[in-house]
A and B are shown apart, each in its own frame.
Chain A
C-alpha cells in the first residue's frame, strides 16, 4: 500500500497535519527549536577569556560615530577629508600626466604623422580625435580616482558605511523609504548600475522601486571627475590659495549632500504619490569594525575599481573622440555638424545657465559620463577656434590653469556655468548601462522611463531656477 503513495496524497496529508499544528505557531516552534540547539552548542563551544562582550574600543568608537552631535560632524569631516585628499593629492600627478600625454606624446604623434605624410584628415581623426579624447580621460580621471577609490574602500572595509545608514535612517523612514535604501545609495556612490543591483537586498517591491529610481542621485565614478575639476578650477579659485583645495572639496561634498537630500525628497514624493505605502520594517546589522588592510586595499581598489572604471571610460572615449572630430570637421553649409547641433541647443543651454556645448556633451556622454569633460573641451576648442583665433594643436597642452582659460576665454564660461554644470552633473539621466540595468531589474518600461526622465526634469528645473536668480540679482 505504501508504495502507491502519490504526490497528491502526501500533499493532502501535509495539509491535514498543518491544520493540526497551526501555521505561524509552527514556524515559531521550529525556530525556537533551532535556536535552542544553536545556543546549546555555542555555549559549550565558546568560552570567554577575561573581559566579556566586545572590545571597549569598538563600543567607544560607535558612541562617537553615532553621537547625537559628533556623529554628523564626524561624518561631514570624514567625507570632506576624503575629497580634500583627492583634490589636493591629484593636482601634481594630473599636471605631470597632462604634460606628458597632451604635450610631449601629442606633439610627438603629430611629428610622426607628418613624417609618415599622413593626410590631414587621417592625422586629425586619429590624433586630434581619438587620441586626444582618450588622453584627456586618462589625465583628468586617473589621479583623482587612484586616490578616491582606495580611501572610500578603506572606509567601507572598516565598517563605517552601515553606521552612516544607521545615522541617516530616520530621514529615510520619514521619506517612506526602506532602511536598506541608504546602503544601495552608498553603493551608488561607486557605480549606479551596481547600486541598482544592490537594491535586491530590499524585499518590498514598492520600496525597491523607490530605491532604484533614486539611485541616480548618488554621484557615481563617472561624475566625480567633472565635479572635482569644476570645484578645483572655478570654486577653489575664488578662495585664497591656501584654502583653495578646501573650498574645492567643500563644493564637491555640497553637491554629494545635495544628492542625498534630493534622494530623500524624491523618495518622499514617490511614496506619497505613485508608489504609495507605508515603509516596511527592516533590520540592519551593524558589523564589528575591522582594521582595514591598507596595502591590500590599495592594490585591489586600484586594480579592480580604478583600472576597470578607467578602461570603461577609455573604450567610450576613443569612439566618442572620433565622432566629435568627424562631426566638427564635416561641414554642412556654413557650419560643421557639431556646430549646427551646438547652435541648435545653445539657446536652451543658455537659458539653463549652461551652453550648447555642454548639452551636446551630455548627449555624447550617455554611454559613459566619464567623457563629459573631454567632450566639452574638444568641442569648445574646435568650435571656438575661429572666434579665438587659435589654431588646431596650439592649445592642446592643457593643465588645469589652461582648461580654465579655454573655458572662460574661448567658451565664455562664468562661475554660473560651472555651478550649473555641477548641478546638472547631479541631475540628469542615468548612463545607458544604468538604464539597461534598471530595465533588467524592473522588467518594466514605464518605471525605466520614469527613472530616466525624472532626473532630467529636475535638472532642467533646478538649473533654470539658479540661472534666473543669478541673472535677476545681476551676478552674471
Chain B
C-alpha cells in the first residue's frame, strides 16, 4: 500500500513526472461511464503524458494507453500523490 499525502487534489493539478492514484470520480452520467470504460476508476494509477500546445487538453497514461481529457473533466477526478514517489505501479 502506498502512503499518501493528506490534501486531496484533482487530476488537472497533476504535474508531468508524478504518479498519482485515482480516489474519487465526481463526474456523472455518460461521462462517468466513459471514464470507467477507459479504466479510470478509484485505485487506478495515472500519469501525465503530455499537454496540448494550447495548454488543454492533457494526455494521461492510464492502464497502458494514452487518453486525452479536457480540463473540465480532469477537474472532476480526485487523486492522491504518494508521499514519496515510488516506481511501483
Residue A283 CB within 8 A of the other chain: yes
Cβ-defined partner of A283 (8 Å) among B35, B50, B51: B35
CA distance A280 to B34 in the complex (A): 12
Residue B54 CB within 8 A of the other chain: yes
- The dominant DSSP class at the B interface is mixed
Residue B36 CB within 8 A of the other chain: yes
**With A66-B52, A281-B72, A282-B70 as given contacts, are A31 and B37 in contact (CB-CB < 8 Å)?**
yes
Q: Which residues of A, 175-214, contact B by the 8 Å Cβ criterion?
A: 179, 203
**With A169-B56, A170-B55 as given contacts, are A35 and B68 in contact (CB-CB < 8 Å)?**
no
Q: Distance (Å) between the CB of A38 and the closest chain B CB?
A: 8
Q: Which residues of B, 10-51, contact A by the 8 Å Cβ criterion?
A: 25, 27-28, 30-39, 41-44, 49-51
Q: Distance (Å) between the CB of A65 and the closest chain B CB?
A: 9
Q: What bracket does the count of chain B residues touching chain A fall in? A: 35 or more
Cβ-defined partner of B69 (8 Å) among A53, A68, A279, A283: A283
Pairwise interchain contact B27-A166, C-beta atoms closer than 8 A:
no
Residue B5 CB within 8 A of the other chain: no
Residue B59 CB within 8 A of the other chain: yes
CA distance A280 to B66 in the complex (A): 20
Residue B82 CB within 8 A of the other chain: no
Q: Distance (Å) between the CB of B30 and the closest chain A CB?
A: 7
Residue A1 CB within 8 A of the other chain: no
CA distance A284 to B34 in the complex (A): 11
CA distance A35 to B34 in the complex (A): 14
Pairwise interchain contact A72-B34, C-beta atoms closer than 8 A:
no
Using Cβ atoms and an 8 Å threshold, which residues of chain B touch A287?
Answer: 66
Interface centre among B28, B39, B57 (most CB of A within 10 A): B57
CA distance A284 to B28 in the complex (A): 18
- The dominant DSSP class at the A interface is helix
Pairwise interchain contact A27-B33, C-beta atoms closer than 8 A:
yes
Q: Distance (Å) between the CB of A42 and the closest chain B CB?
A: 8
A-B contact count (CB 8 A): 93
Chain B residue at smallest Cβ distance from A169: B57
Chain B residue at smallest Cβ distance from A165: B68
Using Cβ atoms and an 8 Å threshold, which residues of chain B touch A280?
Answer: 31
Cβ-defined partner of B54 (8 Å) among A170, A179, A281: A170
Using Cβ atoms and an 8 Å threshold, which residues of chain B touch A156?
Answer: none
Using Cβ atoms and an 8 Å threshold, which residues of chain B touch A69?
Answer: 53
Pairwise interchain contact A166-B41, C-beta atoms closer than 8 A:
no
Chain B residue at smallest Cβ distance from A284: B68
CA distance A35 to B62 in the complex (A): 13
Pairwise interchain contact A32-B42, C-beta atoms closer than 8 A:
yes
CA distance A35 to B66 in the complex (A): 17
Q: Distance (Å) between the CB of A290 and the closest chain B CB?
A: 14
Residue A62 CB within 8 A of the other chain: yes
Q: Distance (Å) between the CB of A69 and the closest chain B CB?
A: 7
Residue B9 CB within 8 A of the other chain: no
Residue A18 CB within 8 A of the other chain: no
Q: Distance (Å) between the CB of B34 and the closest chain A CB?
A: 6
Chain B residue at smallest Cβ distance from A162: B68
Residue A28 CB within 8 A of the other chain: yes
Q: Distance (Å) between the CB of B57 and the closest chain A CB?
A: 5
Residue A123 CB within 8 A of the other chain: no
Residue A167 CB within 8 A of the other chain: yes
Using Cβ atoms and an 8 Å threshold, which residues of chain A touch B56?
Answer: 169-170, 173
CA distance A24 to B31 in the complex (A): 12
Using Cβ atoms and an 8 Å threshold, which residues of chain A touch B41?
Answer: 28, 31-32, 35
- Pick the 8 closest A-B CB pairs, nearest first: A170-B54, A71-B53, A31-B36, A284-B68, A286-B66, A68-B53, A281-B31, A281-B73
What are 12 A-B contacts defined by CB distance under 8 Å? Answer: A27-B36, A38-B39, A39-B63, A62-B49, A66-B50, A167-B53, A173-B56, A173-B70, A282-B70, A282-B73, A286-B59, A288-B66
Q: A31-B41, A32-B43, A287-B66 are in contact. List 16 more A-B contacts (CB 8 A).
A: A28-B25, A28-B41, A32-B41, A35-B39, A69-B53, A169-B54, A169-B70, A171-B54, A203-B30, A280-B31, A281-B72, A281-B73, A282-B70, A283-B34, A286-B49, A288-B66
